[in-house]
Amino acid sequence: MRFSIPRLVSFGFITRIRHSMTLGKRLGLVVLLLASLSLGLVAVIMAQNAAGQRQLGKVEGHWEFALKARGLGQAVQQVALVSQDTFSLDDKDEVARKIGGLEKAVAQLEQQRDAFLSAAKLYLAEANVTRIGLSLREFIAYQRDTIELAVKVSPKAAFIQATDEATVKDRERIVRDMDAVAKDTLESLSGLRAREAEQQSRLLWASIGIPSVLILACVLTSMWIVVRHIRRPIADIVGAMRRTVDQQFAEDVPHRQRHDEIGEIARALVVLKDNAEAKIARDAEIEAERSEAILAQRRAEEAAIAQERARVSETIGASLSHIVAKDLTVRLGEDLPEAYARLRTDFNTAFDELLHALQAFRSGTETIDDSSQKLNLAAEQLAVRTEQQAANLEETSAALAQILKASHTAAESMQGVTRLVGEASLEAGRTQSVLADTTNAMQRIEASSGRIGQIITVIDEIAFQTNLLALNASIEAARAGEAGRGFSVVAAEVRGLAQRSAAAAQDIKSLITTSTKEVGQGVRLVGETGEALSTIMAKVAEIQQIVSQVSSGAAHQAEEIRQVNTGITELNVLTQQNASMVEDTRNIGTVLGGQVGELSALVAQFRMGEDATPATYADAA
């Protein structure tokens, strides 16, 4: 491949510039690219927003003009309706009051006309604007003439003029023109919206495509700069650092020839690698020398420890020999090595505790011997008292049997009385239930009477309304003249029927009121009877409760006497068993005294002086 001299010069120059650029300059280049991209995107978005705002202004203008046209047509119809409603009245005062509203509607129509004509110059031809303006001006002038005619001549004349066929046709033509203008404007608005949608679609694709291309180009360029000139060299330097940490010094450090921060890091890493390699060599020599010294010291320590352990074993063996000879006063001395201080303390503490236990055991055997002698004496006295207690229990048991028989008789009598009182209470409860049913039935009658009264009231109100309707029908029939005469006769009959219905409803309501009062009196009397019967039932219940308590107390007393009798019988049996156990206790005390003597002889064989003799570390040696 051949290269021209200018191309080679240019390529070398670019290479030198690329190697001499610092990381800050490279990152600044990336930031510059991203900033340029952001500015481009902002410019595109602002252009799109400006176009959208202009298009939105056009749409809103068409829509407002269509609303003005439709509102103007509705205002014309509103003025015509108000005019006809005002002039169709016969009351002049009412006509004069409503003329003010009509004049206000005409004034509002004139304001809407001016606003419409001002806006129509942008959307309609000049001839159409002139024609519509003349028609509206004639309509408004005609309405004002009609108002003046009603004030000066009569409302009837104004009504005839307002409902004239030519006037109606002119008004309908104006409304049709306004509807046509609104329809044409809305159709134009639909076309405008279609063109706007098409333009928005093109702008959308452009706004998506152009920024996407710019973003992709900037991202690719930034990635190339970051990966090629920053990330890859840093990864190479990190790899070289890891090899240095792992003590792999065979490979060279890359990028040493660069003139930026990465080149400085690479050159510093070369120095670090050389220093680390030299330090590792020196550390290996020092470690070898230190290992030999440590090994010699460890051998000397092991020999001393073995000699010390042999002496400690001899000392502990001598102490155990004394213990085998039943001498519990021997102890390990304070001259043991410090490493065995815990062993010395535990050994001495264990034998102190054993010595104290044997001394306590010896004192306990003496106490047990004295106690066994006292126990034998107490057992003899207890046997005599047990025989006396058994005789007394037999007499008490016979007396309680007589009392138990009398208690059973009293309890049976009280049960009969309780049964009679319960039957009386049951009959009183049935009577109260019948009175309660009677009271509920009379209350339901009273409630039904109330509902009937409400229905009669509704019938009375319906008759009153029917009378009013018949009266209104008679008035309307009188206004109708000859044509309403037959309807007037029917209305008079309906009115008479309504009055008779109202009178009958009042009679029924009076009877229902009297019946309700009588039923209320009956409910009150039945309630008082129920209250008296409730009082009687409460007293009977109290009597029944007292009798039940007495009967229950008698039965409970009989049961308690029976249990006492049973307990005394069992106590007699236990007393006899106690006599047998007293004899056994005397025998056991005799055997216990012999065994305590044997234990005392065994404990006396051990040496348990007040002062312990320590086994010294020197003696063992």
Contact (CB, 8 A) for 605 and 326: yes
Rounded to 10 degrees, the C-alpha dihedral 135/140/141/146 comes to 130
Which of 304, 375, 35, 58 minimizes the C-alpha distance to 191? 58
pLDDT at 11: 45
Q: What is the 3-state secondary structure (H, E, C) of 158-184?
A: HHHHHCCHHHHHHHHHHHHHHHHHHHH
pLDDT at 610: 53
pLDDT > 90 fraction of the chain, expressed in percent and rounded? 0
pLDDT at 29: 65
Contact (CB, 8 A) for 204 and 47: no
Structure tokens of 129?
């604007």
The DSSP line for 350-381 is HHHHHHHHHHHHHHHHHHHHHHHHHHHHHHHH
Residues of the chain with pLDDT under 50: 1-11, 13-14, 611-612, 618, 620-621
pLDDT at 550: 66
- Within 10 angstroms of residue 260's Cβ, the number of other Cβ atoms is 20
pLDDT tens-digit map of 516-574: 777 677 667 767 776 776 777 677 677 667 767 766 776 676 677 677 777 767 766 77
pLDDT tens-digit map of 275-309: 777 787 787 778 877 877 787 777 777 777 777 77
Structure tokens of 514?
């009297």
Structure tokens of 527?
């309630």
**CB under 8 A, 24+ apart: contacts of 214-218:** 214/37, 214/40, 214/41, 215/37, 218/33, 218/34, 218/36, 218/37
| Full-model pTM | 0.29
